[in-house]
Amino acid sequence: MNVVLKNLTKIFPGRNRGDREVIAVKDFDLEIPDGKLVALLGPSGCGKSTILNLICGLETPSKGQIFFGERDITNVPPEQRGVGMVFQNYALYPHMTVRQNILFPLQNFKGRNRLPKEEMEKRALEAARLVKLDNLMSRKPGQMSGGQQQRAAIARALVKLPDLLLLDEPLSNLDARLRLETREEIRRIQKETNITTVFVTHDQEEALSISDMIVVMKAGVLMQLGKPQDVYDDPVNLFVAEFLGTPAINVFAGEVRDGKIMVGDDVIGDAPGIPSQPVDVGIRPEGFIPGGSSMHMRFKALEVMGRDMSIVSESGFSKAPTVRAIVSSSADAAPRDGVITFDIKPEKLYIFGKETGERIYTGRAARQASAVTDKLADSDGLAVPDDLAAPDGIAASADSADKVGGGAGEGGAQ
């Protein structure tokens, strides 16, 4: 079942008299495709949980509509929405066994929805098998690991055969190893059941690794959506570029001057057709080629991490105290007189408007931008909000792309 959010807005009144109201979600348009796993991603307080609560009916929208398939469920009570929900803190009953916890929602079915006892037992066992807990049915939550408890919570949500599964930070209470295992389990379960699933996390690595699609939010507003790799490769603004990626993208105060991208006196790329102006320059850590000659920085340290190494350096133009380049550990990273020099891979180099933070696309990238939005609109029936289809500063058609960056060579910033 696909889920459509139309112009969804949630405004909370101030908690105390005199407090300002909080716009938790603002004019949110999104189509969640049938059978996909979609992650809502963004910093704390950006409205992720509010969106889940609106979808399952725990909150009512201030404005806008929610559709499950063709059905407008905006005013349907939560228990009639057919949604399974899993929270961060498992919320299992401590005095009940796994079996009793999983059975619990079925025992609450009333009237003609009530199932025969054998059917309930059968479903509970199937759900437990799915999460690989069928051999622990008589354990109580206190006798299980965090990962097992979370799997029991997922089984309890699945036993109702929901059309939609909502997971709110389901891995936050687990230690690092269990997080990894459990997120792979969630992916497996989602693939096996093919239930449309919305997953909330503030952990981008989690989101990037298991989702079919990510939705990056900031202050209640949708910033960008797409396949994880596409969003990483093609951020629409500085916020998304900085939010995705570990280590984070390196950001420098730079400028476009006479069609060249400059950081200080270093010419690090081409931006043909872009008017001269101050810009923020982003370079992904994997975008540095040591031994090149375009960009100069003060060498600080080398951190070898097996196959790769991190070259740590400093630049007076960097927004962060240090700059990180990730290169192969066999690369020549020897500084000369304390200075290390790099060339920059054009596809890992981005420029953003100084005031707006919006991506400034050049040449080939402008063409790619329109191709990406077309692809998103075509694939999986995803809706592309107007502001993504033609973000400010983007030449959204090949035609206009040619106007801004006509004839850009491979050296243009992406």
**Under the criterion CB under 6 A, does residue 22 sit at the interface with ligand ATP?**
yes
Of 5, 24, 54, 295, the residue at the interface with ligand ATP (CB under 6 A) is 24
In the complex, minimum distance from the CB of residue 385 to ligand ATP, in angstroms, rounded to a whole number: 19
Q: Show the DSSP H helices in 171-277 as ranges.
A: 176-193, 204-210, 228-233, 238-243
Q: Using the rule CB under 6 A, is 204 a contact of ligand ATP?
A: no
Residue 315: which of 295, 334, 332 has the closest Cα?
295
CA distances from 13 to 10, 18, 82 (A): 10, 10, 29
- Give the Cβ contact number of residue 219 at 10 Å: 15
- The DSSP secondary structure of 392-410, one letter per residue, reads TT---SHHHHHHHHTT--T
Query: Cβ 8 to ligand ATP, closest distance in Å?
Result: 12
- Residue from 9, 11, 12, 139 touching ligand ATP (CB under 6 A): that is 12
Q: Is 15 in the site for ligand ATP (CB under 6 A)?
A: yes
For residues 49 to 68, the per-residue mask of contacts with ligand ATP, x marking binding by CB under 6 A and - elsewhere, is xx------------------
Which residues are CB-neighbours of 374 under 8 A, at least 6 positions away? none
Q: In the complex with ligand ATP, which residue's Cβ is closer, 89 or 145?
A: 89
Residue 209 burial (10 A CB sphere; 0-12, 13-18, 19+) = middle
Please state, in angstroms and rounded to a whole number, the distance separating the CA atoms of residues 374 and 163.
29
Residue 126 or residue 203: which is nearer to ligand ATP going by CB? 203
Give 202's DSSP letter. Answer: S
For the chain, helix, strand, coil in percent to 5 are: 30, 30, 35
- Using rule CB under 6 A, residue 44 touches ligand ATP: yes
Both structure tokens of 84: 């399974």
Complex with ligand ATP: residue 58 or 137, whichever CB lies closer: 58
246 binds ligand ATP (CB under 6 A): no
Q: Which residues, including other chains, have CB under 8 Å from residue 39's CB and lie 6 or more apart?
A: 198, 199, 200, 201, 206, 207, 210, 211, 213, 214, 215
Q: Establish if 11 lies at the interface with ligand ATP (CB under 6 A).
A: no
Tell me how far, at minimum, the Cβ of 158 lies from ligand ATP, in Å.
23
Check residue 45 for interaction with ligand ATP (CB under 6 A).
yes
Report the site for ligand ATP in 124-153 (rule: CB under 6 A). Answer: none
CB-based contact 54:22 (threshold 8 Å): no
Q: Which stretch binds ligand ATP (CB under 6 A): 46-54, 75-83, 93-101, 283-291?
A: 46-54
CB nearer to ligand ATP: give 48 or 183. Answer: 48
Q: Measured from the CB atom, is 53 or 414 closer to ligand ATP?
A: 53
CB nearer ligand ATP, residue 88 or residue 341:
88
The yes or no reply on residue 202 touching ligand ATP (CB under 6 A) is: yes
Q: Which residues bind ligand ATP (CB under 6 A)?
A: 12, 15, 22, 24, 42, 44-50, 202
